[in-house]
C-alpha cells in the first residue's frame, strides 16, 4: 500500500521532468494520440534553457534537481536498456556521479559510530574529501604500520542517504505497479521485479562491508591473473558506514595521453582488460558491473587496478554455459545451436518454433561474417540478440542484461585504448579455454559429480522432508473437514486493517487532487 508521501514524490518527479524538458524530449513514436497531446502540452511548461539543450543534458539537470538517490536510480536504469530503451539508457550512462561533499565532521562521526573508536586512534592523519558521489565520499588518510605510515583511501557513507533512498524507492514501486496495471504489454519486463532488484543492489551498495567483501572475493579469484588486481582492504578500519582500502597511485584509463606518456602499451592494456573481465564472468561467475574508465587505473607496474565495487554481477553455471554457447554458436555460424540453447535454458517459451527463432538469430549473425574482426562488436551482437528475443516473448533476465551492458562499457574502454581492437582475437584464449573445459567431456564429469552431491544431500534430508510432508497432509485433511477458521482477534485485526487502508486511499486521492490544483494555480 503506497503512502500519501509516495504520491507527493511522484507528482514532484513528474513536475521536475516536465520543467527540465525531459518529457517533451522523449521519443513519441508509437504513442497513442492522447499521450502525444500530453507530451506537447508538457513542452509548453519546460524551461526556456531546456528547450535549447539535448536530451541527455535535460535528463542530467532533472536528476541533479531530484537529488543523490535519483543519480543512483538513473545509473541502475542505465544498465537496463531492456526496460528504458537503448537510447534512454545511453543518456543515463552519461550521468556524472559527482555530488557536493558533506562536512568532514559528519564523516568523522559516521566513522566513529560505525567502528566504535575515535578517528584519531584509527588514523594518524585524516584529510578533507577529494571526491563525493551519490552514496559516499572518499577521504585520503594515513595509518601507522610497523614500517611507518601508509596512505589509504577511506570511503564514508553519505549521512541520511538510506532513509532518503527508501522514501524515493516508494515512488518507484508506485510507478512500477501502475505500469504493470496500465500497460499490460510491459509486464514481460517485470517492472516490479526490476524495482526489487534496484532496492536489493542499492541496499548492498549502502553497506560498505559488502563492498569490502566483493573486493576481497575478486582479489582471491584474480590473485594469479596477469595484469589485473584490486586494492587490498583494511578490515580493522571497515564497517557498515566506512571502508578503508589501499591507496592507488596510478593513471586513470580515461587519461590516454597520460598512459602514453608513462610508457604503457595501450594495445596490451586493452587485451588485458577484456580478458580479465571474461575470466571473472565465465570462470568465476562474479564480475565488476561498473567498469567504466573512472573506476579503472593503471599502476606504475602496468597493472590494471579496478576500484568501486558497489555494483557487482553474478552468473550461475547455467548462465555461463548459455553465454559461452551463444558466443561459440555465432563464431561457428551454428544458429540452430544458439536457438536450442535459448530453449534449453527456458529463456524462450516452448510454444515458439525453434526453427523460426534460429532464422531470427541468423539475421543477426550473417551480416557480421566477412567483416574485419576489429569492426565486429561482441557487445553490439549481444544487444541485437536481446532485441530479437523480444519478438519471442523472452522474459527479462536481469543478470544477463547487466552482463551485456557491462560488456558494452568494457569494450568501449578497450576501443578508446586501441581503436582497431579485435574483440574476438583478444577474448579467444579465455572463451576457448572455458569452452574446452566446460562444454566437452569435462562437463559431463562435472555434471555427474554435482548430480551425485545433490542426490547425497537429498538422501540426508529425506527423513525431515517425510516428516514435514506428513504434517502438511494432516493439516490439509483437518482443513478440508473443518474449514478455514479465524479466531475473534484475527478477524477484528483484519477489519481494522481494511478500514485503515480505505481511509488512507481516500486521503491519498484528496492529497493528489489538492497538489494538482495548487500546481495549476501557480502556473496561471
Query: What is the spatial distance between Cα 71 and Cα 97, in angstroms, rounded to a whole number?
Result: 7
Find, among 81, 71, 95, 181, the residue nearest to 398 by Cα.
Answer: 81
SS3 55: helix
Helices (H) then strands (E): counts for the chain: 23, 12
Smallest CA-to-CA distance from 122 within 273, 281, 267, 243 is with 243
> Residue 137: how many CB atoms within 10 A of its CB?
23
Q: What angle do CA 82, 84, 87 make, to 5 degrees?
A: 95
CA-nearest of 97, 106, 96 to 139 is 106
Give the pLDDT confidence score for residue 480 in this predicted structure. Answer: 61
pLDDT for the residue numbered 28: 63
* pLDDT at residue number 86: 63
The pLDDT score that the predictor gives to residue 333 is 79
Q: Provide the pLDDT for residue 458.
A: 63
Helix, strand, coil fractions of the chain, as percent rounded to 5: 65, 10, 25
Q: Is the dihedral of CA 99, 100, 101, 103 positive or negative?
A: negative
What is the distance between the alpha carbons of residues 453 and 23, in angstroms, rounded to a whole number? 55
pTM exceeding 0.95 = no
Query: Which residues, other chains included, contact 447 with Cβ-Cβ below 8 Å and sequence gap of 6+?
Result: none
Q: Identify the pLDDT of residue 520.
A: 40
**Residue ranges, the chain, pLDDT below 50:** 508-524
What residues are labeled active site?
A: 290
| Per-residue pLDDT tens over the stretch 68-91 | 767 777 767 766 665 666 666 666
20-64: per-residue pLDDT in tens? 777 766 666 656 666 667 767 777 767 766 666 666 677 777 777
Amino acid at each position: 500500500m503506497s503512502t500519501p508521501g509516495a504520491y507527493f514524490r511522484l507528482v514532484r518527479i513528474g513536475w521536475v521532468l516536465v520543467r527540465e524538458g525531459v518529457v517533451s524530449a522523449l521519443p513519441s513514436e508509437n504513442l497513442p494520440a492522447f499521450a502525444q497531446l500530453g507530451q506537447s502540452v508538457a513542452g509548453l511548461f519546460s524551461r526556456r534553457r531546456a528547450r535549447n539543450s539535448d536530451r541527455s543534458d535535460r535528463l542530467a539537470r532533472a536528476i541533479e534537481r531530484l537529488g543523490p538517490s535519483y543519480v543512483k536510480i538513473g545509473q541502475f536504469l542505465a544498465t537496463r536498456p531492456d526496460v528504458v530503451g537503448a537510447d534512454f539508457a545511453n543518456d543515463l550512462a552519461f550521468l556524472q556521479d559527482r555530488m557536493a561533499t558533506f562536512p568532514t565532521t559528519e564523516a568523522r562521526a559516521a566513522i566513529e559510530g560505525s567502528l566504535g573508536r575515535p578517528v584519531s586512534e584509527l588514523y594518524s592523519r585524516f584529510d578533507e574529501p577529494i571526491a563525493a558521489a551519490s552514496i559516499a565520499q572518499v577521504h585520503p588518510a594515513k595509518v601507522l604500520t610497523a614500517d611507518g605510515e601508509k596512505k589509504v583511501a577511506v570511503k564514508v557513507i553519505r549521512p541520511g542517504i538510506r532513509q532518503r533512498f527508501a522514501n524515493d524507492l516508494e515512488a518507484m514501486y508506485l510507478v512500477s505497479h501502475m505500469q504493470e496495471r496500465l500497460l499490460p504489454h510491459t509486464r514481460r519486463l517485470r517492472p516490479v521485479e526490476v524495482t526489487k532488484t534496484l532496492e536489493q543492489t542499492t541496499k548492498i551498495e549502502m553497506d560498505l562491508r559488502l563492498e569490502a567483501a566483493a573486493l576481497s572475493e575478486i582479489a582471491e579469484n584474480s590473485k594469479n591473473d596477469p595484469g589485473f588486481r584490486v586494492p587490498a582492504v583494511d578490515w580493522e578500519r571497515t564497517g557498515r558506514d566506512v571502508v578503508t582500502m589501499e591507496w592507488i597511485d596510478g593513471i586513470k584509463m580515461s587519461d590516454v595521453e597520460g598512459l602514453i606518456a608513462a610508457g604503457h602499451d595501450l594495445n596490451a592494456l586493452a587485451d588485458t582488460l577484456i580478458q580479465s573481465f571474461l575470466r571473472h564472468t565465465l570462470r568465476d561467475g562474479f564480475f565488476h558491473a561498473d567498469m567504466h574508465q573512472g573506476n579503472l587505473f593503471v599502476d606504475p607496474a602496468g597493472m590494471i587496478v579496478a576500484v568501486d565495487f558497489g555494483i557487482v554481477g553474478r552468473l550461475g553455471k547455467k548462465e555461463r554455459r548459455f553465454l559461452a554457447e551463444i558466443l561459440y554458436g555465432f563464431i561457428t555460424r551454428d544458429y540452430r545451436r544458439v536457438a536450442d540453447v535459448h530453449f534449453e535454458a527456458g529463456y524462450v517459451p516452448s510454444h515458439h518454433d525453434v526453427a523460426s527463432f534460429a532464422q531470427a538469430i541468423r539475421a543477426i549473425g550473417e551480416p557480421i561474417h566477412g567483416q574485419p574482426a576489429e569492426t565486429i562488436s561482441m557487445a553490439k551482437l549481444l544487444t541485437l540478440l536481446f532485441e530479437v528475443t523480444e519478438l519471442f516473448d523472452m522474459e527479462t533476465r536481469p543478470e544477463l542484461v547487466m552482463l551485456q551492458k557491462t560488456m558494452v562499457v568494457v569494450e568501449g574502454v578497450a576501443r578508446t585504448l586501441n581503436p582497431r581492437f579485435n574483440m574476438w582475437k583478444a577474448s579467444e584464449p579465455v572463451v576457448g579455454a572455458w569452452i574446452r573445459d566446460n562444454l566437452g567431456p569435462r562437463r559431463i564429469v562435472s555434471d555427474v559429480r554435482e548430480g551425485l552431491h545433490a542426490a547425497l544431500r537429498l538422501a540426508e534430508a529425506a527423513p525431515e522432508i517425510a516428516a514435514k510432508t506428513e504434517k502438511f497432509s494432516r493439516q490439509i485433511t483437518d482443513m478440508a473437514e473443518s474449514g478455514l477458521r479465524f479466531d475473534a482477534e484475527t478477524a477484528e485485526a483484519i477489519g481494522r486493517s481494511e478500514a485503515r487502508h480505505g481511509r488512507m486511499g481516500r486521503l491519498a486521492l484528496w492529497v493528489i487532487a489538492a497538489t494538482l490544483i495548487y500546481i495549476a494555480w501557480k502556473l496561471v
